[in-house]
Structure 1
């Protein structure tokens, strides 16, 4: 009787293990649509998002350079904002056909900022110039808590360099 119970228990667990999924579908962590300003972390007011979006849109028409801003509270399953922003840039190009010149990813919660696409504009702006713009115009305002002003001034300086 003990052997019968043992074999039944083994067969139940074994059959469950054999039919279990071995590879889970990883959900898409990126949003389905993107605009010029994508405040998923809700650190800007609706009027600030609108104003910044209009500014970026009008300057894209002039300079032919698309700047996209994304705020996010979480980068899970990523451990590094750089990896997250690289994959987001690839996702925008491959899935949504959005080819950004500059992608700015910022996380208030993680206290990090990442700029992608610098290779596309290297003829007009060096890596060091981009770092200087971020450290001079964006970061001081972020430290004060004024995300709108930091993003506005930073994108203005980037646009000046791209003209």
Structure 2
């Protein structure tokens, strides 16, 4: 899960253990060389911080010829996209892109096409231009989330 490749003889960058579970981690770019336990801890912490706590979508049945519709938000019923992050956790995003100026920094994501399909990465570090398109986290647009948020 989350492995980009095995590095025989590699050492976990967090706990310094060696073994077959130590791998380069990240779906589209190398994030770190970690063992399974340290990877899960780091990815879960990052997911909690970024709001990437959605369950992955089930794999479609190859025999099924029905159109796959975007799932609805459980709270408001709007269509959403459930996509994997670079660190193998899933997030619920809006189905539209908006200019960066209209989306608060904590809700900005970008869609990146990698070897395994579409992956989303959080926009951080370099501030995007005001007109650059970003995909907002659905929590920003969900009327049910706004109603539940503290004043």
Normalization by structure 2: what TM-score? Answer: 0.27
Of Structure 1 and Structure 2, which has the larger fraction of its residues in strand? 2
Structure with higher Rg: it is 1
Normalization by structure 1: what TM-score? Answer: 0.26
